């Protein structure tokens, strides 16, 4: 017969062991990490059945798993340290990922893209591959108008943008110590877009608005790095409006793609503008005598010798600075009138965008191409290439000394604009050094 005291002791022992195990498991969760990701082919389709091997660079110990039906995999309970990954599947080239550093209680996403073997590679024996060097980078293609944000784990995420041929993007890339990786989400991404805004909160990236294939957007999405999924956010209340849509159609020698081929606009040396209302209501057949068709001041070939780089600050009403690359027609900027020494808010009448093979770096902050004019202390317009240390240029509050002017030979995207009924506008550094520059730019001595 078992005495009750023994039963009570046994129960106490079992409770002690249970609590100890639970505490140990909890303590382990605070020190171990997780590594997961997805595997796709060159068409960005998920690859199930891929053998994924994780090897510790410190101990040589390895773990193996297989990707599921959506191409995802994960390793749990990993101690901090350096790791390597290999991805293998019949008919596909073997992929290596090295220099993967997992921190205490860290969580990493590692994505892989596999390519099909060529016939020659399929018929030859496997050649050992060294992983001592860095992995082959998989960078995004050239684009503009994309977003780039930094996550709390230090990775940089790039989303969307516009390619060289005007093609909008919806792809996602991650950049870390191993280089670029094309991130293939587990579900459909947001609609293609450019010039959108992005920010991060914790492990999530948020994307709002921009311009899509059908115009301005006012939707908001989140990308969760832990689940590798996009989700549209409905929110509460009415959404803010999308970016303004221009109300004019621009027709020029450089852009005739929207014009019916029966009309030859190549004989024009200037752009023409046509109110879009006329097109919507069917009042126009692109007749050059149409009363709504007006010659624009903007030249068909944007002047590349008289522009600023995209990050140049322009003074707006309210003492606000805005990068010139983000300004749009109709926005108000501050224009300086030398005769009255006064500032007035004037709208942008025509914006200019192009590329240059150089810029001049003035006073260590202003990047401008050679022909743009600055108002000197004597009231004369002087080209950027002719500014010398010791000279002074006009500022709304007096004058600014030219301390340095260095020529830099490099390809850059450049911007400029015309101010409606104004002769000049103001460029400014973040520290408040402001200079009066000519409206539209060229000429001068």
pLDDT tens readout for residues 320-373: 999 998 888 888 899 887 777 788 888 888 788 888 889 999 999 999 999 899
pLDDT reading at 141 higher than 50: yes
So what's the pLDDT on residue 304? 57
Work out the widest C-alpha separation in the chain, in whole angstroms: 114
pTM for the full model? 0.37
pLDDT tier for residue 272 given thresholds of 50, 70 and 90: very low
pLDDT tier for residue 46 given thresholds of 50, 70 and 90: confident
Q: Which of 125-139, 178-192, 336-350 has the lowest mean pLDDT?
A: 125-139
For the segment 195-210, the average pLDDT, to the nearest whole number, is 88
pLDDT tier for residue 235 given thresholds of 50, 70 and 90: low
pLDDT tier for residue 53 given thresholds of 50, 70 and 90: very high
Tell me the pLDDT tens digit for each residue of 57-103: 888 899 999 999 888 899 998 888 889 999 999 999 999 888 888 87
């Amino acid at each position: 017969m078992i005495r009750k005291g023994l039963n009570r002791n046994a129960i106490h022992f079992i409770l002690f062991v249970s609590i100890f195990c639970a505490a140990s498991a909890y303590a382990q969760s605070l020190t171990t990490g997780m590594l997961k990701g997805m595997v796709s082919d060159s068409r960005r389709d998920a690859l199930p059945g891929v053998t994924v091997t994780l090897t510790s660079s410190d101990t040589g110990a390895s773990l193996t798993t297989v990707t599921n039906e959506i191409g995802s995999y994960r390793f749990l309970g990993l101690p901090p340290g350096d790791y390597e990954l290999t991805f293998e599947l019949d008919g596909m080239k073997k992929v290596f990922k090295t220099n993967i550093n997992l921190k205490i209680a860290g969580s990493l996403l590692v994505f892989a893209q596999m390519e099909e073997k060529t016939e020659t590679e399929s018929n030859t024996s496997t050649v050992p591959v060294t992983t001592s060097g860095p992995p082959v980078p998989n960078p995004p293609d050239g684009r503009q108008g994309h977003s780039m944000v930094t996550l709390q784990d230090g990775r940089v995420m790039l989303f969307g943008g516009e390619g060289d041929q005007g093609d909008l993007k919806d792809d996602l890339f991650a950049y870390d110590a191993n280089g670029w990786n094309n991130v293939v989400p587990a579900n459909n991404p947001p609609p293609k877009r450019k010039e959108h805004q992005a920010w991060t909160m914790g492990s999530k990236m948020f994307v709002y608005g921009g311009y899509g294939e059908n115009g301005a957007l006012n939707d908001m999405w989140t990308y969760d790095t832990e689940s590798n999924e996009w989700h549209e956010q409905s929110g509460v209340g009415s959404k803010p409006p999308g970016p303004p849509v221009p109300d004019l159609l621009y027709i020029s020698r450089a852009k005739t793609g929207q014009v019916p081929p029966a009309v030859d606009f190549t004989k024009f040396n200037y752009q023409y503008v046509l109110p879009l209302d006329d097109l919507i209501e069917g009042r126009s057949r692109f007749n050059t005598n149409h009363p709504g068709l007006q010659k624009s001041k903007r030249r068909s070939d944007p002047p590349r010798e008289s522009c600023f780089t995209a990050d140049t600050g322009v003074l707006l009403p309210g003492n606000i600075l805005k990068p010139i690359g983000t300004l749009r027609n109709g926005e108000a900027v501050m224009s300086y009138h030398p005769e009255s020494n006064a500032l007035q808010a004037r709208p942008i009448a025509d914006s200019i965008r192009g590329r240059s093979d150089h810029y001049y770096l003035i006073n260590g902050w202003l990047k401008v191409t050679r022909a743009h004019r600055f108002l000197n202390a004597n009231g004369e317009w002087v080209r950027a290439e002719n500014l010398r240390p010791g000279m002074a240029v006009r500022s709304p509050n007096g004058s600014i000394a030219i301390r340095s002017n260095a020529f830099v030979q490099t390809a850059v995207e450049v911007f400029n604009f015309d101010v409606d009924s104004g002769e000049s506008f103001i460029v400014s550094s973040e520290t408040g050094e402001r200079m009066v520059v000519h409206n539209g730019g060229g000429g001068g001595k």
